[in-house]
Amino acid sequence: MDMNIYFPGGKKVYADFKGFTHKTDQAVYAGGEGSAPTPFELFLASIGTCAGIFVLGFCQQRGIDSAGIQLIQRHDIDPATRGVKKVHLEIQLPPSFPEKYKKAVIQSANLCAVKKHMENPPEFNVFTSQG
């Protein structure tokens, strides 16, 4: 499964994958134009949106209205490494959400493939080639 990564100018880095172009840029203070999320922001968003699709699917399978449901993602940052130390995903539910499904909706969010890959990270193989 190939993804084509390229540099369209400035601090932009784009990735073409499965017919979509995923655009990234750096913040203005970092020399970019701030025209798109940074690569790391896209990574963080992939966690919440992945959990979100599982929450949405859970609701759809049970005929539960997803209106009023949202996920809030927060991060604890390690001051020494400036990396993310802990990710908090809060599933905000409307009062109408069935009590009997509250634990199950958490379990569904935990099925997120991005989260699972972070728990068991892949091996990386970075190399050069000349075309």
Q: What is the number of helices (H) and of strands (E) in the chain?
A: 3, 5
At 1, the pLDDT band (50, 70, 90 cuts) reads: confident
Q: Average pLDDT of 12-16? A: 98
Number of other residues whose CB lies within 10 A of the CB of residue 12: 16
CATH code for the structural domain at 38-119: 3.30.300.20
pTM for the model: 0.90
CA dihedral 59, 65, 66, 69 (to 10 degrees): -110
The residues spanned by each domain of the chain are 1-36, 38-119
Residue 61 has pLDDT above 90, yes or no: yes
User: What percentage of the chain exceeds 90 in pLDDT?
Assistant: 98
**Residue 68 and residue 80: Cα distance in Å, rounded?**
38
Q: Average pLDDT of 24-44? A: 97
Q: Can you give the pLDDT at residue 131?
A: 83
pLDDT in tens, 80-128: 999 999 999 999 999 999 999 999 999 999 999 999 999 999 999 999 9
Structure token pair of residue 123: 């091996």
Q: Can you give the pLDDT at residue 73?
A: 98
Q: Where on the phi/psi map is residue 13: left (φ > 0), alpha (ψ -120 to 50), or beta?
A: beta
